[in-house]
Amino acid sequence: MNKPTKTVRVSAGTRIYYFDAHKDKKGQPYLSITEVPVDRSPGKKSRQRIFIHAEDLDSFADAFAEIAKSIKSK
């Protein structure tokens, strides 16, 4: 994976989330979201990563906002 053009880090208790803007080999932008556990216990930690392509960002953002609103209202 190439070096991000922009990174936003979110600390959330026992997890850290990284929102990274990248460009693929063709120069097309995409978003990667990585969850990194910060558990201090021994053993391998598994990272979770998803990729959102530029053409899907608006739909992803709308769905995220809708679910966040629903969760916050409960």
Does residue 63 surpass a pLDDT of 90?
yes
- Which band of pLDDT confidence, cut at 50, 70 and 90, is reported for residue 3? confident
- Which band of pLDDT confidence, cut at 50, 70 and 90, is reported for residue 43? confident
Alpha-carbon distance of 48 to 9, in angstroms, equals 15
Average pLDDT over residues 28-36: 95
What does the angle CA 58 – CA 50 – CA 11 come to, to the nearest 5 degrees?
A: 95
Q: Residue 5 is which amino acid?
A: T
Phi-psi category of residue 30: left, alpha or beta, with phi > 0 → left and psi -120 to 50 → alpha? beta
Average pLDDT, the chain: 91
Average pLDDT over residues 12-41: 91
